[in-house]
Structure 1
Amino acid sequence: MMKIYVDPGHGGSDPGAQGNGLKEKDITLDIARRIRNLLTNNYTNADVRMSRTGDSTKSLNERTNEANSWGADYYLSIHCNSFNGSAQGYEDYIHSSLSDSSTTARYQDIMHSEITKVNQLRNRGQKKANFHVLRETTMSALLTENGFIDNDHDAKLMRDPSWRQTVAQGHVNGLAKAFNLKRKKEDGTLYKVVAGSFQSKENAEKRESHLQSNGIESFIEAVTMSGERWYRVQAGAFSNRNNAEAQLEKVKNAGVEDAFITAVN
């Protein structure tokens, strides 16, 4: 079992970087939750622990001590950047003491490649720094900076839940490749819980926001039906029909009566 410690940067009394009406702590938590869900729903050998699952305050020491005592195999810290409004793009970091041929650097190569394939951000490259979470962890660690929150272009993307889902998927693609994660029932039926389909993206975002406020993770998927573009709100995908039914009930209890399950082979 691969033990992956996912650390959404900042939180609680520490908002992190701010700009364009957004706070880093909120963006990092959302992406990290999506990473966790993708890993736990789709892979058999990924054990995920998060430094925080809500808007709580947690010191850097607490985060690294927890990962170390748990015996994590990999530490993944999710962040956003800020500078002067004009800087933009994605970059990631390993500790400055490590060589380019180290195991951690090899993992960085894979992660960087997979994330930058999908994130629609300027590629600022692979870097090294003496950050606490990179220095004090006893396992390989990577810190990703997913755009500049004070840059108009990057902030517009950050605001989009489907972009955050894509970024999470990019991280997961990297983890799966780096650590040979095994997919669940690759050829089996996948049961998707659909919590509404809308022709208006704004309405889909309202539905997603409603679900999130009720503690239900979801994302928006653009689909074309009969030549028209629809925005479908998906609230989970399961290889087990019973798990999908349980999620459907949860969604309906949150007031979403038009939710349904679709089976994909």
Structure 2
Amino acid sequence: MVKLFIDPGHGGSDPGAVGNGLQEKNLTLQIAITLRDILLNEYEGVTILMSRTGDQTVSLSERTNAANNWGADYYLSIHINAGGGTGFESYIYPGVGAPTTTYRDIIHDEIIKAVDFVDRGKKTANFHVLRESRMPAMLTENGFIDNPNDAKKLKSTSFLATIATGHANGLARAFNLTRKPTILYKVQIGAFRIKSNADKLAADARSKGFDAIVLLRDGLYKVQIGAFTSKENAESLATKARNAGFDAIVYSE
């Protein structure tokens, strides 16, 4: 089990950098929560502790103490930059070697692949969270809040999700995380021993706007009208099919 400590920078009475109607503390929390959800929902063998999950004031010492006491395998601190520049950069503590440098290189590169940011490079700094954490640690600076072009991107929820995805891809690669098996939720409107009966029902469904197919499974000809990774989407289609007069069920594989 890989223990990842995710640290959304600032919070509470400390807004962090501000600019263009944005506050760093809000952006880092949104990225961190999305990152946590991606990792827990999509990967096996990972557990996560966050320095904060809301708008709390948490000191730097409280953050590193929490990670150290928990015995985290990795410390990832998420920030937004300021100062008139543009783009993405990452930091580790000066003078450290592998595995910290290896992890940083992988995660940095995956973030750059995912986001439309200038690559400002892989850097070092004597930041508290990098110095006082007992495990390999990395701090990311995701765009400049006082740059109009970067800020425009940071105002987009989908762009923040892309930043989180880049971090998730990097962590998954760095720690060789295994993806969870994909569960498909299928919508079925009939199952028959005789194929012609299934074909007839499928034709009826198509005439009413459903994308019906006939599949031979478990000795039966099954009429399927959809398959989704989201159970909610499958249930929505099943409800639509029932309203059209079909006996729809949702099952998973």
Please point out which of 114, 120, 127 is paired with 2:116: 120
Opposite residue 154 of structure 1, the aligned amino acid is D
CA RMSD after TM alignment? 2.3
Which position in structure 1 is the counterpart of 2:163? 167
Which position in structure 1 is the counterpart of 2:56? 56
Q: What is the CA-CA distance between 1:113 and the residue it aligns to?
A: 0.7
Please point out which of 152, 158, 161 is paired with 1:156: 152
Question: How far does the alpha carbon of each residue in 1:217-255 deviate from its partner, in whole angstroms, 9 at most, with x for none?
Answer: xxxxxxxxxxxxxxxxxxxxx9795xx69xx9xxxxxxx
2:43 is aligned with 1:47: no
Please point out which of 114, 129, 134 is paired with 2:130: 134
Which position in structure 2 is the counterpart of 1:88? 86
Which position in structure 1 is the counterpart of 2:198? none
Partner Cα separation in structure 1 for residue 166 and residue 42 of structure 2: 14
5+ unaligned residues in a row in structure 1: which ranges?
192-237, 249-261
Partner Cα separation in structure 2 for residue 169 and residue 263 of structure 1: 29
Q: What is the CA-CA distance between 1:118 and the residue it aligns to?
A: 1.2
Partner Cα separation in structure 2 for residue 239 and residue 133 of structure 1: 38
Going from structure 1 to structure 2, the CA distance change for 1:36 and 1:190 (only over 3 Å counts) comes to farther
Query: Where do residues 91-110 of structure 1 align in structure 2 (5 Å cutoff)?
Result: 91-99=89-97, 102-110=98-106
Opposite residue 184 of structure 1, the aligned amino acid is K
Which position in structure 1 is the counterpart of 2:213? none
Partner Cα separation in structure 1 for residue 14 and residue 252 of structure 2: 42
Query: After TM superposition, which residue ranges in structure 1, 4 or more long, deviate above 4 angstroms?
Result: 238-241, 262-265
Q: Secondary structure at the match of 1:11?
A: coil
Going from structure 1 to structure 2, the CA distance change for 1:54 and 1:124 (only over 3 Å counts) comes to same
Opposite residue 53 of structure 2, the aligned amino acid is T
Q: What is the CA-CA distance between 1:163 and the residue it aligns to?
A: 0.4
User: Larger radius of gyration, structure 1 or 2?
Assistant: 2
Q: Secondary structure at the match of 1:47?
A: strand
Q: What's the TM-score, normalizing by structure 1? A: 0.70
Opposite residue 105 of structure 1, the aligned amino acid is T
Going from structure 1 to structure 2, the CA distance change for 1:263 and 1:111 (only over 3 Å counts) comes to farther
Q: What is the CA-CA distance between 1:189 and the residue it aligns to?
A: 1.6
Going from structure 1 to structure 2, the CA distance change for 1:97 and 1:263 (only over 3 Å counts) comes to farther
Question: How far does the alpha carbon of each residue in 1:149-169 deviate from its partner, in whole angstroms, 9 at most, with x for none?
Answer: 000010000000000011100
Query: Where do residues 199-210 of structure 1 align in structure 2 (5 Å cutoff)?
Result: none
Aligned pair count? 197
5+ unaligned residues in a row in structure 2: which ranges?
187-227, 237-249
Which position in structure 1 is the counterpart of 2:219? none
Q: What's the TM-score, normalizing by structure 2? A: 0.74
Partner Cα separation in structure 2 for residue 239 and residue 67 of structure 1: 34
Q: What is the CA-CA distance between 1:65 and the residue it aligns to?
A: 0.3
Identity %: 54
Query: Where do residues 217-228 of structure 1 align in structure 2 (5 Å cutoff)?
Result: none
Q: Tell me if structure 2 keeps the 8 A contact 1:185–1:239.
A: no
Partner Cα separation in structure 2 for residue 190 and residue 14 of structure 1: 44
Which position in structure 1 is the counterpart of 2:184? 189
